[in-house]
Amino acid sequence: MAEFFKTSVTWVVDFHYEGRPRRWFKAFGPHDDPFQQMTDTLKDLYGDRAKLASVRKATDEEELQYLRGEEPKNSYCPTGR
């Protein structure tokens, strides 16, 4: 894909849910603040049960995993899927 068509950046979000480590892939726009947005999102979804550990740009390999739809090994889905 040509780089000028890509307007988002894939980030790796590591957090703890009820003390257990979790990881999400999340795409953000170039002017977004991923750390603040994920802090707010986790607070809205889980209240005090989740704590953000780190937010960093995904490596090329992690971004390919995200684009292929492969889940991180310790992802959490409330529906059990």
What are the tens digits of pLDDT across the range 10-58? 899 999 999 999 999 898 998 899 999 999 999 999 999 999 999 999 9
Residue 2 has a pLDDT of 54
Residues in CB range of 62: below 8 A, 6 or more apart: 10, 12, 25
- Taking alpha carbons only, the member of 5, 9, 19 closest to residue 56 is 9
